Structure 1
């Protein structure tokens, strides 16, 4: 697997005159871009023409994937980026092309996904006149990009493009947008390669941690009696070596490890030290260990509300160490005792070295007591559920999907909702970059186009979107993209005929008043798949599930799998909003959940 943040830009380029549109194509090639996702329109036709000519001259060295909606382009770029560590690239036109992509841009910002978005703009002399398909793209996206540009002079274009890739992939990754007026695309200028431009922005994020703070953190961990590693997507963004170092440090310290939704796979689920995901739908053992720990080592996570629960009751009495490449994240939501700004992999390297150099050893006696407490919490079997011979339980569907794919080269994407949480709970990830989901923004419709991007990055791998029937319909048209490019993605729909998470909250918190959460007039997903030229499969009973999952896996075509599951199953365990980590509701309490949530717990969002 390629290293995170890996680019293969050309360092030198013989300067030559070309149009702005040709500069865009040349700069992408020089940045090592192989695939981009887009949708043409009037304001970017010069770029599409330059791409046509480049393809004619050089073959598909820069491959363009035509999506069916600009939101799909952004999510596909996210999937490509998240599964490879390389930046995703999007090309869309002005006005609605740019505004349609914004959901995916915000999603990438929230989840720290490196992405470069190229948008067309009306000619410079028409900006501000309400011209056809004009929008203030830079103004609209100022709050939802890591940085954005409006190119007013073709002479600035090469620098801006190369600078955008540097910003998108350095420090905390994120989306960078470049708005290019049509006259700038036609104008001629002198092109310069990545190694020839001088960046106007002196962006040089800190990657090495402060040695004094690292030493202080190591001393805290060495003296801990109840330590825990709380890990997030920053570990994955730091590259495979960071995951390896996390595993080494956890073994040295004897501490348990838990993870956010975005960090799944950074630590192997098969390791005995793994406690599962934490947070609102995390495991009983992970949440109780977070609550009772005496030293918390937060690596590449940001203490978001889905993890912390009630802030004034979050891990009371513990010493908190926070490692993050984004200095603004430290002490933003939770005050910590030791804040270390730096790349997760680099800091973990230095912490392992400091641990060994200091001759530190874990307090095995205290750790023995700590692990006995953890084993007591594990004994609650918080993910158990009632089995059925007549109806497919959604948890069972994920368990069987995992059992039948665990030995394959598999990548998982998801939509957003109950199915997403069940996938996080029951699909056990052993490696980083295998799990693509929308965490911070919670974007319904993410998973299908993300699967398109992942499959393009890994053409020989098995790519599965674990979906809900409501969420997947938001971007269902992208199955057409998969068919066109012969991408054998598998859309595994847990179909309960409800907007499941909305229904669950309405049942538990709103007196079972199911306001507009039932999915009426659902399509026949098998016929829909066939209409698109894909394969449709349906399973109604547990007895037929395995054979049909194998049929799905073995198909060389895109597949929509309609898995009919229990309609009223709730996703548990659950921390009601406003509650602490040690106030979880377990499956056996689910029937009485409405009675145990007090007024403070009625603030789920």
Structure 2
């Protein structure tokens, strides 16, 4: 059948199972948006306040559902406003397809109004980017983008479509939806070598990464951990891959992880990294990280081997397949003394400065949130102190229930991500835990929450400072608080009300439970302003480039 390019875009989205897109219209995308009008009964479009919010929403939709997130923009500034969201998805391996309008082909390279060569701009932060120059290439390019986004190590793909392409007509032939086949299997020899190391392990430790969730391999991973009886230490991106109440779950690892996870790293005889990349926030001192241990790395991306930490053995392939093969033929192990040692380490550390008189403590707020939220509810965060407090104290029982910018550390990520997660999981409630600094970044997306009545509970850890940067200034810059105490007079309750959203405030511990429960029960967008001390710190903390032997437990 003969369709316009804009109609082909919509048909290809339907073909790939897409029913929700996020975006913002503009001149170069008008034909596409006109087609969306015709397809509005099949494709829901969420209009955000800014393209960055749309990109983060597509990301949050993908993280929480496992599907490909889709974002639309116009040309020029509309397209460049997607860049931060695309980079955020790229470093965290999130499948996303961005479809941008551009000026007509005869205007390309002429500095036309709102022209940017976006396909070249995003090359370093995408798996692939395409500029469609022939009408006949449009449908194959869209299909290829969805295939690339979902195959191997997942990630974002951008398609740039000139305006005249969206207006032209050509023959369209429907095709089947692309289904990832996970054909990239681990070699049997590598599996056998890993099994032999595991058979001889006395003090195994698993360093779990986000690749487990990306591969939909959580059930296989739990069976693996149980088979070798190994404690599980999670990166930020891995939280939720094993239920928080599982006896082998220890907690998050790295700069703000527990003392016990650091000690496990320094005392294990075998460390198994599953879908993890040894980032600097985990392996602060790359040379000393697990230097006493035999390190095995299971990953789908061969480029990750030896990139940050030299490993002794590696298994390259689809993680779900690799875990099944490693478990098959591996006898049940039992390491009660080792597990008991880790639990003892967990009891030894005390944090001395968690109570600031006259304020609520973040742990108190998160403890009450744990009591209120259901096991399957989703928590999104922005980036900063609140992000680390959530990682430390929030219980996650299911995969895809913790959404955070792990690699890029994008302040402002959480608002869009929470919107996308809620749209993709209408049977679940979504919390956004943010800080006042991050909340200011994309506070305009409150209008999106209100416009579509998206029932996100926004919990603002409001210390009136840029807390994490200020904490580093305390530790490493002699308490010279340069531009981290902005003296902003924002009243978040009034701001929420200005957007037509309920605003609540918590100022003392005895208010926490009732206010959070009231917000949760409203089943509508609500902002809860939680007043905390500007001197609250995220502890423990391993300074950058250091090991657990130099852990900071007090900043008095």
Q: TM bucket by the smaller chain?
A: over 0.9
SS at match of 1:313: coil
Q: Equivalent residue for 2:454?
A: 487
Which of 142, 145, 152 lines up with 2:123 in the alignment? 142
SS at match of 1:307: coil
Q: Equivalent residue for 1:5?
A: none
Q: Equivalent residue for 1:118?
A: 99
Is the Cα–Cα contact under 8 Å of residues 291 and 582 in structure 1 kept in the other structure?
A: no
Q: Equivalent residue for 2:162?
A: 181
User: After superposition, what is the alpha-carbon deviation per residue over 1:317-338, rounded to whole angstroms, capped at 9, x for unaligned?
Assistant: 2111111111111121112111
The alpha carbon displacement at 1:235 in A equals 0.3
The alpha carbon displacement at 1:390 in A equals 3.1
The alpha carbon displacement at 1:580 in A equals 1.6
Instruction: Tell me how far apart the structure 1 counterparts of residues 52 and 377 of structure 2 sit (CA, whole Å).
Output: 24
Instruction: Tell me how far apart the structure 2 counterparts of residues 320 and 142 of structure 1 sit (CA, whole Å).
Output: 33
Matched, 1:391 2:359: yes
SS at match of 2:287: helix
Q: Equivalent residue for 1:466?
A: 433
Which of 332, 342, 347 lines up with 1:374 in the alignment? 342
The alpha carbon displacement at 1:205 in A equals 7.2
Instruction: Tell me how far apart the structure 2 counterparts of residues 399 and 67 of structure 1 sit (CA, whole Å).
Output: 32
The alpha carbon displacement at 1:188 in A equals 1.3
The alpha carbon displacement at 1:519 in A equals 3.1
SS at match of 1:491: strand
Instruction: Tell me how far apart the structure 2 counterparts of residues 504 and 44 of structure 1 sit (CA, whole Å).
Output: 44
SS at match of 2:39: helix
Matched, 1:72 2:39: no
Unpaired runs of at least 5, structure 1: 1-15, 198-202, 592-605
Instruction: Tell me how far apart the structure 2 counterparts of residues 66 and 420 of structure 1 sit (CA, whole Å).
Output: 27
Instruction: Tell me how far apart the structure 1 counterparts of residues 82 and 344 of structure 2 sit (CA, whole Å).
Output: 47
The alpha carbon displacement at 1:380 in A equals 1.6
Is the Cα–Cα contact under 8 Å of residues 394 and 566 in structure 1 kept in the other structure?
A: no
Q: Equivalent residue for 2:14?
A: 29
Instruction: Tell me how far apart the structure 2 counterparts of residues 383 and 513 of structure 1 sit (CA, whole Å).
Output: 24
Is the Cα–Cα contact under 8 Å of residues 280 and 574 in structure 1 kept in the other structure?
A: yes
Paired residue total: 556
Is the Cα–Cα contact under 8 Å of residues 230 and 248 in structure 2 kept in the other structure?
A: yes
Is the Cα–Cα contact under 8 Å of residues 418 and 571 in structure 1 kept in the other structure?
A: yes
Is the Cα–Cα contact under 8 Å of residues 468 and 495 in structure 1 kept in the other structure?
A: yes
The alpha carbon displacement at 1:276 in A equals 0.3
User: After superposition, what is the alpha-carbon deviation per residue over 1:551-593, rounded to whole angstroms, capped at 9, x for unaligned?
Assistant: 111112210110001220110001101212332222xx332xx
SS at match of 1:258: strand
Q: Equivalent residue for 2:149?
A: 168
The alpha carbon displacement at 1:352 in A equals 1.2
Q: Equivalent residue for 1:297?
A: 272
SS at match of 1:287: helix
Q: Equivalent residue for 2:172?
A: 191
SS at match of 2:433: strand
Instruction: Tell me how far apart the structure 2 counterparts of residues 171 and 83 of structure 1 sit (CA, whole Å).
Output: 19
Matched, 1:313 2:281: no
User: After superposition, what is the alpha-carbon deviation per residue over 1:497-551, rounded to whole angstroms, capped at 9, x for unaligned?
Assistant: 0100011001111010101011322311111111101110001000111110111
Instruction: Tell me how far apart the structure 2 counterparts of residues 522 and 235 of structure 1 sit (CA, whole Å).
Output: 43
Matched, 1:98 2:79: yes
Q: Equivalent residue for 1:81?
A: 62
Instruction: Tell me how far apart the structure 2 counterparts of residues 508 and 381 of structure 1 sit (CA, whole Å).
Output: 20
Is the Cα–Cα contact under 8 Å of residues 212 and 238 in structure 2 kept in the other structure?
A: yes
Which of 280, 284, 292 lines up with 2:255 in the alignment? 280
Deviates more, 1:382-391 or 1:492-501: 382-391
Q: What TM-score, normalized to structure 2?
A: 0.97
Is the Cα–Cα contact under 8 Å of residues 206 and 325 in structure 1 kept in the other structure?
A: no
Question: Which residues of 2 match residues 182-261 of structure 1 at below 5 A?
Answer: 182-195=163-176, 207-239=184-216, 242-261=217-236
User: After superposition, what is the alpha-carbon deviation per residue over 1:420-475, rounded to whole angstroms, capped at 9, x for unaligned?
Assistant: 00000000111110000001000000111111001101123210000001101111
SS at match of 1:323: strand
Instruction: Tell me how far apart the structure 1 counterparts of residues 195 and 397 of structure 2 sit (CA, whole Å).
Output: 26
Instruction: Tell me how far apart the structure 1 counterparts of residues 367 and 353 of structure 2 sit (CA, whole Å).
Output: 12
Instruction: Tell me how far apart the structure 2 counterparts of residues 20 and 522 of structure 1 sit (CA, whole Å).
Output: 49
Instruction: Tell me how far apart the structure 2 counterparts of residues 173 and 370 of structure 1 sit (CA, whole Å).
Output: 35
Is the Cα–Cα contact under 8 Å of residues 106 and 441 in structure 1 kept in the other structure?
A: yes
Is the Cα–Cα contact under 8 Å of residues 206 and 341 in structure 1 kept in the other structure?
A: no
SS at match of 1:27: helix
The alpha carbon displacement at 1:196 in A equals 9.8
Instruction: Tell me how far apart the structure 2 counterparts of residues 237 and 196 of structure 1 sit (CA, whole Å).
Output: 20
Q: Equivalent residue for 1:515?
A: 482
SS at match of 1:305: coil
Is the Cα–Cα contact under 8 Å of residues 464 and 534 in structure 2 kept in the other structure?
A: yes
Instruction: Tell me how far apart the structure 2 counterparts of residues 486 and 361 of structure 1 sit (CA, whole Å).
Output: 50
Instruction: Tell me how far apart the structure 2 counterparts of residues 361 and 577 of structure 1 sit (CA, whole Å).
Output: 38
The alpha carbon displacement at 1:389 in A equals 6.8
Q: Equivalent residue for 2:37?
A: 52
Which of 29, 38, 43 lines up with 2:28 in the alignment? 43
User: After superposition, what is the alpha-carbon deviation per residue over 1:188-240, rounded to whole angstroms, capped at 9, x for unaligned?
Assistant: 1111333499xxxxx9975311111111101111100110111110000111x
Structure 1 residues 186 and 382: alpha-carbon distance in aligned structure 2, compared to 1, 3 A threshold:
farther
Is the Cα–Cα contact under 8 Å of residues 353 and 555 in structure 2 kept in the other structure?
A: no
Instruction: Tell me how far apart the structure 1 counterparts of residues 450 and 152 of structure 2 sit (CA, whole Å).
Output: 36
Task: Quote the RMSD (CA, aligned, Å).
Answer: 1.7
